[in-house]
Amino acid sequence: MFAKPLGRFLAKTMLEPLPQPFDKTPKDYGMDYRDVEFPTRDGLTLRGWLVNEKADKVVAITHFGYRANRFGYQLKYQPLLTKPYNKEIEFCKVAEQLVNDGYAVLMYDLRNHGESDKSDRGVGTGGHGERFDVIAAVEFLANDPAMAGKPIGLLSYCYGASTSFFAMEEDSEIFKKCGVKAMVALQPLANGDYLKSVKLPNSIYNAAEQYFKEQTGGYSLMAPLEEAAKSVCVPTRLVQARKDPNTNMDKVKQMYENFPVEKEMFWLEEPTHRFDGYNWFAAHPKDMLTWFNKYMKTEASAAA
Using one digit for the tens of pLDDT, what is the confidence trace for 60-104?
999 999 899 999 999 999 887 778 899 999 999 999 999 999 999
Q: Which CATH number fits domain 3-296: 3.30.70.20, 3.20.20.120, 3.30.1330.90, 3.40.50.1820?
A: 3.40.50.1820
The secondary element (H helix, E strand) that includes residue 107 is strand 104-108
Q: Are 268 and 239 in contact (CB under 8 A)?
A: yes
pLDDT computed for residue 301 by the predictor = 54
pLDDT computed for residue 3 by the predictor = 87
Query: What is the DSSP secondary structure assignment for residue 234, as one 8-state letter?
Result: S
Using CA atoms, how far residue 174 sits from 13, 132, 135, 186, 238, in Å, is 32, 11, 8, 22, 21
pLDDT computed for residue 213 by the predictor = 97
Sign of the torsion angle spanned by Cα atoms 98, 100, 106, 112: positive
Q: Is 157 helix (H, G, I), strand (E, B) or coil?
A: strand
Q: What is the CA radius of gyration of the chain?
A: 18
pLDDT computed for residue 303 by the predictor = 46
Where along the chain do its domains lie? 3-296
Query: What is the DSSP secondary structure assignment for residue 269, as one 8-state letter?
Result: -
Give the integer Cα–Cα distance in Å for 91 and 26: 10
Using CA atoms, how far residue 66 sits from 92, 237, 250, 277, in Å, is 18, 24, 24, 17
Could you give the maximum distance between any two Cα atoms of the chain, in Å? 68
pTM of the model: 0.96
The list of the chain residues with pLDDT below 70 reads 1, 299-304
Q: Which amino acid is at 229?
A: A
Q: Is 94 helix (H, G, I), strand (E, B) or coil?
A: helix
